[in-house]
Amino acid sequence: MEEETLVYVERDKLRELFKRKLTQAGLPEVQADKTADLMIFADERGIHSHGSVRMQYYAERISKQGYNLEPNFEFTQNGPSAGTYFGDNAVGHYVAYQAMEEAITMAKNSGIGMVGVKEMGHSGAIGYFAEQAAKRGMVAITVCQSDPMVVPFGGTKPYFGTNPIAFAAPRQSGEPILFDMATTVQAWGKILDARSKHKAIPDTWAVNNQGEPTTDPFEVAALLPVAGPKGYGLMMMVDILAGSLLGLPFGQHVTSMYKDLSQYRRLGQFHIVINPAYFGDERLFLEKVSEMVDELHDIKPAQGFEQVYYPGEIQETVKQRYAKSGIPVAKSIYDYLVSEQLY
């Protein structure tokens, strides 16, 4: 497979290009700004599945009113630590961000903040929201629904989404720990990224429409859960928290990202924020997390490994590298970003 040429774009310039396209398509400024922020968060960490490769799709969905561009958001607090955030099918990046702010406030006031986010569009690389809380001294978990494209363990037909889980914890110094994974071997965006670069994929990621492993990203019909029955169990857990619990469509009833771009997605997300101050000595906690990272770094790497990394550390090193080199973007996508073409 012939690889596509890459263009290296400076971070702030790329962020501006994202924002320009989003507003051009009709997204209100404040929402476009947050969405561009999430997209750059992904691309600058090498999470290319959720950066520039999605822009054409977002612009088309905005243009076709597949997002509510005049939403009425509503946060309802149902208890000291529990509430729901109605996203009115606006762009998910902005909705999930706002809902996380409510969860942080409740955790500050009562030790825990749990917010079920109801009815929104796709929210991107969800580690962003966990980090949002960790940067304010909180421990956070967030999970969300995604469109059905994964065969359940032992099955031949897609049922669950790639339903990601993100966890973040602050530490005494340095960036928070940030564990952020799709419950599939790989996120669907990695298939899109491989398609955009015309790169073959490993045969362990996905199956074709016969249910057979494939290395051709253009042939992919469904993804595989990570670690067989374990990933399958985790994606079900995510769907129960972010879907059934909130009275939203679940499993195979979740709408598809690419089928009808003028239809609202009605997706759910679930944020859990924990205030360390309510569980012990906050300062000691931060020290212990830092100590854990130091001890992990001290472990002798196995053959073929450079070092033991904490979750999120590889992405931080990529970010530092790209700060010098620029962020790689497929040339065809770059040409689109700088063009006047809407989508």
**Which two tokens mark 282?**
């906050």
Task: Round to whole Å and give the CA distance between 93 and 100.
Answer: 11
Cβ proximity to ligand NAI, 60 vs 175, nearer residue: 175
Q: Contact region for ligand NAI (CB under 6 A) — 65-73, 121-129, 230-238, 335-343?
A: 121-129
Cβ proximity to ligand NAI, 57 vs 179, nearer residue: 179
Q: Please report whether residue 142 would count as binding ligand NAI according to CB under 6 A.
A: no
**Which two tokens mark 84?**
């729901």
CA torsion sign for 317, 320, 321, 322 is: positive
- Site residue total, ligand NAI (CB under 6 A): 28
**Minimum distance, C-beta of residue 278 to ligand NAI, in the bound complex (Å):** 26
Is residue 122 part of the annotated active site? The answer reads yes
Q: Please report whether residue 271 would count as binding ligand NAI according to CB under 6 A.
A: no
* Amino acid at the residue 152: P
Candidate residues 21, 122, 171, 271; the one interacting with ligand NAI per rule CB under 6 A? 122
3-state SS, residue 116: strand
**Alpha carbon distances (Å) from 305 to 210, 293, 299, 309, 312:** 36, 17, 11, 10, 16
Candidate residues 84, 132, 146, 214; the one interacting with ligand NAI per rule CB under 6 A? 146
From residue 282 to residue 321, the character string flagging contacts with ligand NAI as x (rule: CB under 6 A) and all else as - is ---------------------------x-xx-xx------
**Minimum distance, C-beta of residue 81 to ligand NAI, in the bound complex (Å):** 24
Candidate residues 14, 32, 40, 47; the one interacting with ligand NAI per rule CB under 6 A? 47
DSSP state of 152: P
From residue 218 to residue 257, the character string flagging contacts with ligand NAI as x (rule: CB under 6 A) and all else as - is ----------------------------------------
3-state SS, residue 252: helix
> Can you point out the beta strands (E) in 33-181?
74-77, 82-86, 112-120, 139-144, 165-169, 177-181
Task: Round to whole Å and give the CA distance between 150 and 168.
Answer: 26
Q: Please report whether residue 71 would count as binding ligand NAI according to CB under 6 A.
A: no
Cβ proximity to ligand NAI, 187 vs 220, nearer residue: 187
> Can you point out the beta strands (E) in the chain?
6-9, 74-77, 82-86, 112-120, 139-144, 165-169, 177-181, 206-207, 222-223, 267-274, 327-330
Nearest to 126 by CA among 92, 149, 150, 102: 92
Q: Please report whether residue 49 would count as binding ligand NAI according to CB under 6 A.
A: yes
Q: Please report whether residue 162 would count as binding ligand NAI according to CB under 6 A.
A: yes
Q: Contact region for ligand NAI (CB under 6 A) — 2-10, 12-20, 182-190, 235-243?
A: 182-190
**Minimum distance, C-beta of residue 317 to ligand NAI, in the bound complex (Å):** 10
Cβ proximity to ligand NAI, 185 vs 207, nearer residue: 185
Task: Round to whole Å and give the CA distance between 290 and 295.
Answer: 9
Would you please indicate which residues are annotated as catalytic (active-site) residues?
Answer: 122
Site of interaction with ligand NAI (CB under 6 A) = 47, 49-50, 122-127, 144, 146, 162, 164, 166, 178-182, 186-187, 189-190, 309, 311-312, 314-315
